[in-house]
Amino acid sequence: EFFPGLGWMMDKSMWSEVRDRWAVAFWDEFMRRPDVRKGRSCIRPEISRSFTFGEDGVSGGQFFAGHLSRIKLNDVMIDWGKQDLRSLASTAAFDESLVARLRAAKLVTLDEVDSFAGRAEALRIEYDDHAFAKMVAPKFGLMTDEKEGIRRMSYRGVIPFTYQTNRIFLYSRKWPGPDKLS
């Protein structure tokens, strides 16, 4: 749900929809607005295909030292023709795929996650919105802010990332709900 900024593209119909009211500056913030997003989500790769050139720009270097300077371009070739992309066919297909990945991941606490270092497992950690900025984000080096009520990197409150060789899924109590993960 969180428009990633940096590198992106849109189809002609989306451009036709927004071009007459395009932002003069901070176009990434414009794309995150509810009246622009209209409940839509971005398809984005798990591995960044974008790179920042430095801290000069309209944002004045915000987040550059702490986060953006560590962006690494992908150096692993992927044959997209051989990838199973059925989960991207619709919102329902993606939601179903994500819930299945969450269900298959081992439920751990924030205090337990370091004991899995080096194991290359899928782990899920339920987070509380109030504890996110104080405990969860600092633990993993994640950005603590929200834009338009949406956490960076999240989809329906789920934030996937890799930590100490493990695939971590942080997920909010709001989605997908305990009945979906049991």
What does the H/E/C string look like for 88-121? HCCHHHHHHHHHHHHHHCEECCCCCHHHHCCCCC
SS3 53: coil
Name the active-site residue from 11, 28, 84, 145.
28
Instruction: Select from 62, 72, 74 the least CA-distant residue to 143.
Output: 62
28 is catalytic: yes
Indicate if the alpha-carbon torsion angle 41, 46, 52, 55 is positive or negative.
Answer: positive
163 DSSP 8-state letter:
E
Residues with active-site annotation: 28
